[in-house]
């Protein structure tokens, strides 16, 4: 069971308290109705599924109930960083593998 | 009396026989501290089981958890039967009853042992090849026969009456393994004051000190030192010591699963004791001190009862005081087996000969063996064992060929060397590295905050082990911020072992066809492994699966390295290039009970009951499960079946009125200055202009444009909406709303609160509904002008606060009375009393379903399935045409979602009104077409409607709304049913009854 640091509670808590919510930093268009079919496809269907660093959304479901973002290495399953929803993609990652 | 093979004065047990036990119906005596294995051996019993595939007689290979052969069933009573218990681990208690497995009719005469003679048919991969013809025979004949003949124990056929508990624990240093290394590491860490947990799978700590008679630590016998060190640890407040506890799994971030066997060793475990306890431990640092496991020699018929690991024979002698024979032979490729011969000889047991594969080994144990007068043969191999139910001889030959000599023996003690137990290290995702010099895999690169010490790290010798372990324990403590200042245990004497060999011994080489077992539990021989390579398997993972080497419940603890070496030799490749198979949890088998713990029966999943549940129970309601909820399904009167009850309930609601418990409906309060804006974004409907006090039926979509949920929403105030959701959808709708509020629309000033359990909901529906409610209501004008259909008021009912909705899911004049849940039952009873004056009934979920279907009201999740758009469901009217944004606005108009020919929700009437369709039945346009037919839709809802006097159904049909009046067909196994496509409203098409 992973330990995940909630950036709102500022504590590491067991995975049981959290729920994954898919890839992060996929912004919903401010002009949703005007999106082209291609843009909607990219927004709704296409996900990166990388081997390595992934930016994803989690929710501290059985804690503060806040959504936040996390950087995880899909190879080692380690969380490198978590940060609040709305904050920009971090420029530097601590201890990332190649 | 003392058992025949117990040696007076030997071992550490008090030899007074206090326990009687039975094996296959025979009674024996044992002593306190015995295992089932040591007690049977003391009585001269070696034959303990039959092998998995060939049904060959088998004895004890080991004295520990790695045992592949000695699996028995322990039976406490008819419900407490545990199969596949390792007799080498099971502690003896008075009255223990054990049975052998996988034999018929008896252990000494097993009919299926013919499989041994027919074994050329059963070689590696046999089931892929041998039983291929005729094809049908595999399923009906071969597979059932093979499955019946092969196998281990029989699963119990009753529910497990024992209980199992679970605990979470946190510590600074977790030490896995309580031999010399583990104890030393625990001492070093514990002395600094950090929180330490020390774990060992055996009843007593000490690991190999159980048998190492040559070990002396702090001027004590090694085993005695271990006991006093652990006794000291137990007195420390910062230390938890767990014996009979197996670390079975090493998971992410130093999360380790332990199973503590609490009462399997007790004669009469009290009901207050769990059988086992699951520990889930999170440790800052882990010290792995898991030791090493001795390997057997791979030679012909090396599985005969009486042939065992040399260390096992030493354990039986030095700890249990039992000799495994009177005239033992020793076959070895390393020094440690000499110690067994020496210990037995000194105890007065005859040692026929030591056969050593090595050419000219030297060292103190060899000198000592010679000095004791034991015959020592170098450069020779045991090429065959004699005997069947018990070994009777060993045949010895120079390893490069030559004259054979057969030596009578009643036991053979063997040692091919020691395999470090890297199982848990490997589970931690650490990478093992092959040491070519010592021919062992040892821990290489670490993936977690752990360290391996002692034999599992490839460290030889007691002194080096204790130095390494003590330093590791101190460092682990230092890493978490504590400094050591204790006394390192001093090793005064120790044993030294050399390396040994891997693979098949001479006489079992590639040119032979003998049965030299590599994996005892799965009956895999050296020949099988070679055959796998010859048939094209290249990777050890393929060899493993083809031969099943290492795939039994012992997970190849003794067999993996031999199998790998034979495969590598056959492939002509170095061992590391062939690779080691992956170690997976559990290290030893774990019961389902310990994993499940208390989460069984009523504690498996919460049961949710409404405030009105006790009343419904008293009325004799039949309940159905809806998610975790228990909902009243129907209320049968005396003599009524479900059909009659539902018909009566449906008719009564439309004739007078009915009361329905709608408390399970999901309810969310959306509050704040931007509440209307938020509702605009989350639902397809317009909300800004909805007057406070009015309600609207809302549809929620996912971003892809498909219907996600629906429900009536009441606006209580400009900044307050009372939103209802489907019963099953409440949690995900709340999550969906929170997600958008927190991440996409955080600028909106809105709060969301789940109020599902705060309000009990009583639906009162029917022409008399207002008459029933009105006398109890204060402060609300109930006239049609003041409280029209689809409106909501706050006031009081029966003196308690209410949110009174005028709304209808039946098509009748209707109300939903929301009251605080604590008053739910009292208000229900008051309404019920009023209802009785008018002839109202209570109705359940089934009648609710029928009544709504009569009106063509959909149920999301029944009439929709996640691929239905508002247009498909005929709900375009609920989509705000002028809106510029809401979740799903773009997805809804994707080309495929607006294309012609989509499945649309329509009504179906069977041509024969008495025939009720089956929900889920497929629909075709032409019943005469060839099979497979083109299916154009399916039935989503179908009921008998007593109010309509016929069956009614809803269905999703391709281009359905353009097919009104068309005849379609529903092919069923017995008949094809003709149906007519209709509108979705079957009753009161004009909707006049809403005000009736």
Nearest to B612 by CA among B435, B728, B504, B760: B760
Band of residue B128 on the pLDDT scale cut at 50, 70, 90: low
Task: Report the largest interatomic distance among the alpha carbons of chain B, rounded to a whole angstrom.
Answer: 115
pLDDT tops 80 at residue B135:
no
State what percent of residues in chain B have pLDDT above 70.
96
| Coil, helix or strand at residue B783 | coil
Mean pLDDT across B958-979? 97
Question: Of B429, B738, B746, which is closest to A65 when you measure between CB atoms?
Answer: B738
Domain end residue (candidates: B126, B151, B176)? B151
What integer pLDDT is reported at residue A98 of this predicted model? Answer: 44
The answer for B 695-724 residues in CB contact with A (under 8 A) is 703-704
| Over residues B183-189, mean pLDDT | 98
Do residues B24 and B145 share a domain? yes
| CB < 8 Å to A59, chain B | 735, 738-739
Distance of CA B637 to the CA centre of its chain: 44
Is residue B996 very low, low, confident or very high in pLDDT (cuts 50, 70, 90)?
confident
pLDDT of residue B485: 76
Q: Is the pLDDT of residue B90 over 90?
A: yes
Using 50, 70 and 90 to split pLDDT, how confident is the model at B811? Answer: very high
Question: For residue B874, what are the CA distances in angstroms to B680, B703, B809, B871?
Answer: 21, 19, 17, 5
Q: How confident is the model at residue B288 (pLDDT cuts 50, 70, 90)?
A: very high
Last residue of a domain, one of B124, B151, B178: B151
Query: Across chain B, what does the average pLDDT equal?
Result: 94
Q: Which two tokens stand for residue B715?
A: 């606006």
Tokens coding B35 = 């295992």
Structure token digits, residue B623 = 């309940």
Residues B667, B651: Cα–Cα separation, whole Å: 29
Q: Write down the pLDDT at residue A1.
A: 85
Model confidence at B133: pLDDT above 70: no
Specify the CATH architecture of the domain A3-84: 2-Layer Sandwich (3.30)
- pLDDT tens digits, one per residue of B3-24: 899 999 999 999 888 899 999 9
Q: How confident is the model at residue B150 (pLDDT cuts 50, 70, 90)?
A: low
pLDDT in tens, B292-309: 999 999 999 999 999 999
**What tens digit of pLDDT does each residue of B36-83 get?**
999 999 999 999 999 888 889 999 999 999 999 999 999 999 889 999
Record: contact B885-A33, CB cut-off 8 A: yes
B175 and B319 housed in the same domain: no
pLDDT band at B115, cuts 50/70/90? low
Residue B697, beta-bridge partner list: B712
Is A21 within 8 Å of chain B by CB? yes
Q: For residue A11, give how far its alpha carbon lies from the nearest alpha carbon of chain B (Å).
A: 15
Sheet with B97-99, edge to edge strand ranges: B26-31, B17-23, B97-99, B71-75, B81-86
Q: What is the pLDDT of residue B154?
A: 84
d(CA B267, CA B638): 53
Based on the fold, state whether residues B692 and B799 are members of the same structural domain.
Answer: yes
Same domain as B277, residue B254: yes
Q: Over 90: is that where the pLDDT of A56 sits?
A: yes
Q: What is the C-alpha separation between A69 and A83, in angstroms, rounded?
A: 5
Q: Which of B380, B400, B415 is the last residue of a domain?
A: B415
Mean pLDDT of B711-734: 97
Q: Hey, which residues does B176 pair with through a beta bridge?
A: B199, B288
Look at residue B690 and tell me whether its pLDDT is greater than 90. Answer: yes
Query: What pLDDT band is residue A85 in, cutting at 50, 70 and 90?
Result: very high
Inter-chain CB proximity A76 and B429 less than 8 Å: yes
- The mean pLDDT value for B531-548 works out to 92
For residue B151, how many other CB atoms are within 10 A of its CB?
Answer: 13
Same domain for B438 and B519, yes or no, is: no
Query: What is the residue range of B954's domain?
Result: 886-995
Predicted local distance difference test score (pLDDT) of residue B588:
94
Q: What's the average model confidence in pLDDT over B958-978? A: 97
Count of domains for chain B: 6
Interior CA angle at B316 toward B312 and B319, to 5°?
Answer: 115
Segment B315-361, tens digit of pLDDT: 999 999 999 999 999 999 999 999 999 999 999 999 999 999 999 99
Could you list the beta-strand ranges (E) of B462-546: 491-493, 517-519, 524-525
Question: Closest Cα of chain A to B333: distance in Å?
Answer: 40
Shortest distance, CA B701 to any CA of chain A (angstroms): 14
pLDDT in tens, B629-664: 999 999 999 999 999 999 999 999 999 999 999 999
| Burial bucket for residue B785 (CB in 10 Å: 0-12, 13-18, 19+) | exposed
pLDDT at B132 (0 to 100): 58
Q: CB B252 to CB A86 under 8 A?
A: no
pLDDT for B901 equals 95
Residue of B169, B250, B252 best to disrupt the A interface, most CBs of A under 10 A: B252
Instruction: Identify the pLDDT of residue B117.
Output: 66
- Any idea what the CATH number is for the domain that residue B683 is in? 3.30.1360.120
Dihedral through CA B700, CA B703, CA B705, CA B709, nearest 10?
-20
Q: Which of B251, B735, B890 shows the shortest C-beta gap to A32? A: B890
Query: How far apart are alpha carbons A32 and A40 in whole angstroms?
Result: 8
Asked if B415 and B337 count as a contact pair (C-beta separation under 8 A), the reply is: yes
CA B193 to chain centre: 36
Alpha carbon of A92: minimum distance to chain B alpha carbons (Å): 22
Q: What is the mean pLDDT of residues B101-113?
A: 77
Q: B55: closest CA among B143, B121, B120, B114?
A: B114
Q: Using omega within 30 degrees of 0 as the cis cutoff, is the peptide bond preceding B932 cis?
A: yes
Q: Does B26 touch chain A (CB under 8 A)?
A: no
What number is the ipTM of this complex? 0.96
- Report, as an integer, the average pLDDT of B860-888: 97
Say which of A14, A77, A85 has its CB closest to residue B742: A85
Whether B894 sits inside 8 A of A37 (CB atoms) is: yes
Percent of residues, chain B, with pLDDT higher than 90: 89
The token pair that represents B899 in the structure block: 């294309």
Contact A67 B738 (CB under 8 A): yes
DSSP string covering B618-670, please?
HTTPEEEEETTEEEEEE-PPTT--HHHHHHHHHHHHHHS-EEEE-TTSEEEEE
Q: Look at residue B614 and tell me if it is in a domain.
A: no
Across the range B164-193, mean pLDDT stands at 97
Residue A97, pLDDT > 60, answer no
How many Å lie between the alpha carbon of A32 and the closest alpha carbon of chain B? Answer: 6
pLDDT greater than 70 at residue B120: no
Domain map (residue ranges) of chain A:
3-84
Give the pLDDT confidence of B772-787 residue by residue, as tens digits: 999 999 999 999 999 9
Query: Residue A62: closest CA among chain B residues belongs to which residue?
Result: B735
**Residues of chain B found within 8 Å of residue A33, distances taken between Cβ atoms:** 884-885, 889-890
**pLDDT tier at B2, thresholds 50, 70, 90:** confident
Q: Look at residue B612 and tell me if it is in a domain.
A: no
How many Å lie between the alpha carbon of A24 and the closest alpha carbon of chain B? 10
CB of B746 within 8 Å of a chain A CB? The answer is yes
- pLDDT tens digit string along B456-506? 999 999 999 999 999 999 999 999 999 877 889 999 999 877 789 999 999
Predicted confidence at residue B579, as pLDDT, reads 85
């Amino acid at each position: 069971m992973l330990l995940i640091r909630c950036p709102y509670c500022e504590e590491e808590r067991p995975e049981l308290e959290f729920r994954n919510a898919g890839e992060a930093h996929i912004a919903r268009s401010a002009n949703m109705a005007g999106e082209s079919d291609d843009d909607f496809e990219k927004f709704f269907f296409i996900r990166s599924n990388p081997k390595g660093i992934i930016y994803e959304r989690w929710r501290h479901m059985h804690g503060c109930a806040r959504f936040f973002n996390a950087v995880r290495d899909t190879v080692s399953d380690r969380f490198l960083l978590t940060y609040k929803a709305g904050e920009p993609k971090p420029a530097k990652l601590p201890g990332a593998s190649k | 009396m003392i058992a025949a093979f117990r040696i007076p004065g030997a071992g550490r047990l008090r030899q007074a026989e206090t326990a009687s036990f039975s094996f296959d119906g025979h009674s024996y005596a044992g002593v306190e501290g015995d295992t089932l294995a040591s007690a049977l051996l003391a009585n001269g019993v070696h034959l303990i089981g039959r092998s998995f595939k060939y049904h060959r007689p088998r004895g004890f290979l080991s004295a520990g958890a790695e045992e592949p052969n000695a699996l028995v069933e322990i039976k406490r009573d008819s419900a407490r039967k545990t199969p596949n218990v390792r007799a080498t681990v099971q502690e003896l208690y008075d009255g223990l009853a054990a049975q052998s497995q996988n034999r018929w009719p008896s252990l000494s005469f097993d009919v299926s042992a013919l499989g041994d003679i027919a074994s050329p048919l059963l070689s590696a991969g046999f089931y892929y090849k041998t039983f291929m013809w005729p094809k049908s025979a595999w399923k009906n004949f071969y597979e059932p026969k093979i499955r019946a003949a092969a196998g281990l124990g029989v699963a119990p056929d009753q529910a497990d009456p024992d209980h199992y508990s679970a605990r979470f624990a946190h510590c600074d240093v977790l030490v896995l393994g309580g031999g010399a290394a583990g104890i030393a590491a625990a001492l070093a860490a514990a002395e600094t004051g950090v929180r330490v947990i020390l774990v060992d799978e055996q009843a007593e700590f000490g690991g190999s000190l159980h048998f190492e008679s040559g070990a002396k630590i702090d001027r004590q016998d090694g085993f005695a030192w271990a006991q006093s060190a652990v006794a000291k640890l137990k007195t420390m407040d910062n230390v938890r010591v767990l014996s009979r506890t197996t670390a079975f799994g090493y998971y992410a971030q130093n999360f380790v699963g332990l199973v503590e066997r609490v009462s399997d060793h007790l004669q009469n475990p009290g009901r207050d004791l769990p059988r086992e306890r699951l520990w889930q431990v999170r440790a800052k640092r882990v010290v792995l001190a898991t030791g090493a496991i001795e390997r057997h020699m791979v030679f012909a018929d090396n599985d005969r009862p009486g042939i065992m690991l040399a260390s096992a024979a030493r354990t039986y002698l030095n700890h249990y005081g039992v000799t495994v024979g009177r005239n033992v032979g020793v076959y070895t490729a390393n020094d440690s087996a000499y110690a067994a011969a020496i210990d037995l000889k000194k105890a007065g047991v005859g040692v026929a000969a030591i056969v050593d594969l090595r050419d000219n080994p030297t060292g103190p144990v060899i000198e000592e063996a010679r000095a004791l007068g034991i015959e020592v043969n170098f450069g020779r191999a045991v090429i065959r064992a004699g005997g069947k139910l018990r070994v009777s001889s060993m045949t010895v030959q120079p390893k490069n060929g030559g004259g054979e000599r057969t030596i009578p023996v009643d036991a053979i003690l063997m040692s091919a060397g020691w395999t470090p137990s890297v199982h848990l290290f490997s589970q931690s995702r650490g990478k093992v590295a092959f040491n070519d010099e010592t021919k062992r895999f040892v821990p290489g690169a670490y993936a977690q905050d752990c360290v391996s010490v002692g034999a599992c790290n490839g460290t030889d010798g007691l002194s080096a082990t204790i130095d390494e372990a003590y330093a590791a324990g101190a460092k682990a403590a230092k890493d978490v911020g504590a400094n050591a200042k204790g006394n390192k245990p001093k090793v005064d004497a120790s044993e030294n072992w050399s390396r040994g060999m891997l693979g098949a011994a001479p006489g079992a080489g590639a040119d032979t066809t003998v049965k030299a077992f590599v994996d005892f539990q799965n009956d895999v021989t050296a020949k099988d492994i070679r055959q796998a390579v010859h048939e094209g398997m290249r990777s050890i993972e393929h060899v493993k699966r083809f031969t099943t080497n290492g795939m039994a419940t012992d997970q190849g603890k003794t067999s993996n390295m031999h199998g790998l070496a034979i495969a590598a030799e056959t492939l002509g490749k170095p061992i590391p290039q062939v690779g080691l198979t992956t170690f997976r949890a559990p290290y030893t088998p774990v019961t389902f009970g310990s994993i499940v713990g208390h989460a069984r029966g009523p504690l498996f999943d919460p049961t949710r009951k409404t405030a009105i549940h006790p009343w419904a129970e008293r009325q004799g309601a039949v309940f159905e499960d809806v998610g975790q909820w228990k909902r009243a399904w129907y209320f049968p009167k005396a003599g009524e079946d479900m059909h009659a009850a539902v018909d009566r309930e449906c008719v009564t609601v439309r004739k007078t009125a009915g009361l329905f418990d709608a408390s399970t409906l999901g309810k969310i309060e959306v509050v704040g200055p931007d509440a209307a804006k938020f509702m605009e974004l989350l639902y397809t409907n317009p909300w800004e202009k909805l007057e406070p006090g009015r309600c609207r039926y809302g549809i929620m979509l996912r971003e892809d444009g498909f219907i996600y949920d629906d429900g009536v929403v009441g606006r209580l105030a400009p900044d307050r909406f009372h939103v209802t959701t489907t019963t099953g959808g409440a949690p995900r709708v709340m999550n969906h709303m929170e997600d958008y509020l927190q991440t996409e629309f955080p600028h909106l000033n809105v709060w969301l609160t789940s109020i599902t359990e705060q309000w009990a909901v009583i639906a009162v529906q029917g022409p008399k509904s207002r008459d029933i409610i009105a006398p109890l209501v204060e402060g609300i004008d109930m006239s049609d002008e003041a409280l029209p259909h689809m409106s909501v008021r706050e006031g009081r009912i029966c003196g308690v606060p209410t949110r009174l909705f005028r709304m209808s899911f039946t098509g009748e004049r209707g109300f939903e009375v929301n009251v605080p849940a604590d008053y739910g039952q009292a208000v229900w009873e008051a309404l019920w009393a009023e209802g009785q004056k008018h002839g109202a009934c209570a109705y359940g979920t089934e009648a609710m379903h029928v009544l709504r279907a009569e009106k063509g009201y959909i149920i999301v999740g029944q009439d929709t399935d996640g691929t239905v758009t508002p247009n498909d469901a005929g709900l375009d009217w609920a989509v705000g045409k002028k809106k510029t944004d809401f979740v799903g606005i773009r997805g809804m108009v994707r080309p495929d979602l607006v294309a012609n020919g989509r499945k649309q929700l329509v009504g179906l009437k069977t041509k024969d009104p008495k025939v009720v369709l089956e929900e889920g039945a497929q629909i075709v346009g032409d019943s005469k077409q060839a099979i497979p037919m083109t299916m154009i839709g399916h039935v989503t809802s179908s009921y008998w409607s007593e109010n309509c006097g016929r069956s009614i159904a809803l269905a999703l049909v391709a281009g359905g709304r353009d097919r009104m009046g068309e005849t379609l067909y529903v092919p069923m196994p017995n008949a094809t049913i003709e149906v007519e496509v209709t509108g979705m409203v079957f009753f009161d098409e004009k909707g006049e009854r809403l005000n009736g």
